Structure 1
Amino acid sequence: MSSSVFYVLSDSVGETAELLAKAALSQFKDQNMKIQRIPYVDDEATMVDAFHLAHENNGMMAYTLVKPEFRVKMRELEQEFGIVAIDLMGPLLEQLENHLDEQPTLQPGLVHKLDEDYYKRVEAIEFAVKYDDGRDAKGILKADLILIGVSRTSKTPLSQFLAHKKLKVANVPIVPEVEPPEELFQVSPEKCIGLNINHEKLNHIRTERLKALGLDGSANYAKEDRIKKEIEYFNKVVEKIGCDTIDVSNKAVEETANVILRKIKR
């Protein structure tokens, strides 16, 4: 068989059509057909040019076009040029529309937008892990948001929850014996949020935590005097930074996250 070209047209990058074309061609042992992608088709002139190319190169075509008027034009050109042009998207969209009883958005490239969102989420999760618990102060300067608070104020789970919302979050523990990193005072106060907590609630949380670890619940870590000292120091740091605080005493992680997301939107 003489060589020919399989043209794949798309109103986005054209990966879907190309993959399907490759999968189909792989089923034929003796074929000498090249695949040429024509992406970002957004006018009828591009379609006409593609049919001229197919005519000159003994070609056939397949396309993934979401706009109905573009698919109608392709069918008209298929009849005019006498060249096979396979609609890979239209029939599936129509069947889904009937099954779901919902109009499609007809917006090109949404699958790649979903992919982009996925990778941003993964990147944010990796960021939260890398810069958890003040491990590397450099993360403070790179973060979308910095959470500060004393131990057991849900900084880590909150960072992870917000990472799933594609926010790069660093968190920094506030301990009286340790100077907060200088980077904390170099970023905009609007990027920082202090997690405040009632000392009695924190006493209960820490006591239960120690017991869960098989340790004495009366250790200094859970003593009220120690907790009050930590909270007092935390308040001084917050005042120096000039950032907002959220009382997490009786809030689940999801509730605190929603408060933060509303603040960011404002």
Structure 2
Amino acid sequence: MIIYIISDAVGETAQRVVQATLLQYPELKPVIRTYPFVTTVDELAPIMQDAVAEQAIVTVTFVAAKLVTWATAFAQQHQLQLIDYMSPLMQALTTQTGTKPLAQPGMLHTINADYFKKVAALDFAVAHDDGQSLQTLAKADLVILGVSRTSKTPVSLYLAEQRIKVANIPLLPNNPLDEAVYQLPKEKLIGLTISPQRLQKVRQKRMVGLGLSADNYYTDVTSIEKELDYAHAIFTKLQITPIDTTERSVEETAALIMQR
């Protein structure tokens, strides 16, 4: 079996859908031929003729109406199986809203200012993870504080996807908080907390995942309570109200932060 993927852009949309569909047929190993940047009928015609010769299934993601019309007519004439991934939804959107599509290929890959802002935020989060790069802490939009395993890193990365530059700093009883944190506006500061019992389970799971004993000082509930007490003392000093992550997902925690 042969599958053609033809697009007036890269063809990534069709590739993803095809691959997702093939996961439902693990026994099938089709040959997949991809034809990107097909923007004229003259370019499309020989590809479609080859598809007829190979009895291929053809998938297309065209935004140009003339290519869709020609490909559909050709497929009907030659009894070729053709799946158009974009036109039906575009037609439905136009019919319901009266809004015409831009018909501009490759918009999925348009690199603009927003894209670079996202990349910059992700780079910032990685560079300022777990108390790193404190000398540039003032450039952060937000600084997340909390003891180990309170979801500081995943929340930071999730917010970075929203184009927010986030640093995160662990709170350790025997490691005084850097003075730079106290110089920040409290509006930039976010505290994360969690119940001792939940944190114990999270840390035990982490230890097992690393191939270590689940029972040690790091997972001892008494030690954890002392860490959390220290963290709450810091939150009080910084005049911030922490967010309890005990029963919250990363997305829920991030949403609360965005509200603040």
| TM-score by shorter chain over 0.5 | yes
Q: Distance in 1 between matches of 2:245 and 2:163?
A: 22
1:226 maps to 2:223: yes
The CA deviation at 1:98 is 6.7
Q: Distance in 2 between matches of 1:98 and 1:211?
A: 50
- Percent identity over the alignment is 37
Q: Is the radius of gyration larger for structure 1 or structure 2? A: 1
Match of 1:99 among 76, 91, 94: 91
Q: Which residue of 2 aligns with 1:151?
A: 148
Structure 2 partner of 1:255: 252
Which residue is equivalent to 1:124? 121
CA distance in 2: counterparts of 1:91 and 1:222, whole angstroms: 62
Match of 1:184 in 2: 181
What is the CA distance between 1:116 and its match in structure 2?
1.1
* Counterpart-to-counterpart distance in 2, 1:121 and 1:209: 29
Q: In 1, Cα distance between the equivalents of 2:124 and 2:145?
A: 16
Distance 1:251 1:238 in 2: 20
Structure 1: tracts of 5 or more residues without a match: 1-88
Shift in alpha-carbon separation, 1:184–1:98, aligned structure 2, 3 A: closer
- The equivalent of 1:67 in structure 2 is none
Q: Secondary structure at the match of 1:175?
A: coil
CA distance in 2, matches of 1:163, 1:184: 20
Q: C-alpha displacement at 1:183, in angstroms?
A: 1.1
The Cα of 1:243 is off from its aligned counterpart by: 1.7
Aligned residues: CA RMSD: 2.8
Tell me, yes or no, if the aligned pair for 2:144 and 2:167 is still in contact at 8 Å: yes
Q: Partner of 2:171 in structure 1?
A: 174
Contact 2:125 2:157 in 1 (8 A): yes
State how 1:28-107 maps to structure 2 within 5 Å. 99-102=91-94, 103-104=99-100
Q: What do residues 14-37 of structure 1 show as CA deviations (whole Å, max 9, x unaligned)?
A: xxxxxxxxxxxxxxxxxxxxxxxx
1:115 deviates by 1.3
Give the 3 Å change call, closer, same or farther, for CA 217–98 of structure 1 in structure 2. Answer: closer
Provide the aligned length of Structure 1 versus Structure 2.
173
CA distance in 2, matches of 1:91, 1:129: 43
Q: CA deviation at 1:242?
A: 1.0
Counterpart secondary structure, 1:200: helix
What's the TM-score, normalizing by structure 2? Answer: 0.60
Aligned-partner SS, 1:153:
coil
Residue in 1 that maps onto 2:213: 216
How far apart are 1:227 and its partner, in Å? 0.3
Q: Distance in 2 between matches of 1:144 and 1:157?
A: 16
Contact 1:190 1:244 in 2 (8 A): no
Q: Residue type of the partner of 2:93?
A: D
Take 1:120 and 1:105, find their aligned partners in 2: how far apart are those partners?
26
Instruction: Report the CA distance between 1:135 and its aligned residue.
Output: 1.1
Which runs of 5 or more structure 2 residues have no equivalent in the other structure? 1-62, 70-86
Are the equivalent residues in 2 in contact too, given 1:139–1:170 (CA < 8 A)?
Answer: no
161-170 or 205-214, which deviates more? 205-214
SS in 1 for 2:112: helix
- Hey, what's the Cα distance between the residues in 2 that align with 1:241 and 1:141? 16
In structure 2, what is the Cα distance between the partners aligned to 1:223 and 1:114?
48
What's the CA shift string for 1:9-67, capped at 9, x where partnerless?
Answer: xxxxxxxxxxxxxxxxxxxxxxxxxxxxxxxxxxxxxxxxxxxxxxxxxxxxxxxxxxx
Q: Is the CA contact 2:200–2:220 (under 8 Å) kept in the aligned structure 1? A: yes
Match of 2:243 in 1: 246
Query: Does the residue aligned with 1:172 lie in a helix, a strand or coil?
Result: strand
Q: What's the CA shift for 1:90?
A: 11
Q: Partners of 2:198 and 2:64 in 1: how far apart?
A: 58
1:237 aligned onto 2:229: no
* Amino acid across the alignment from 2:133: D
| Conserved 8 A contact 2:90-2:101 | no
Report the 3-state secondary structure (helix = DSSP H, G, I; strand = E; otherwise coil) of the residue aligned with 2:190. Answer: strand
Kept after mapping to 2: 8 A contact 1:192/1:244: no
Q: Is contact 1:197-1:248 (8 Å) kept?
A: yes
Q: How much does 1:151 deviate?
A: 0.1
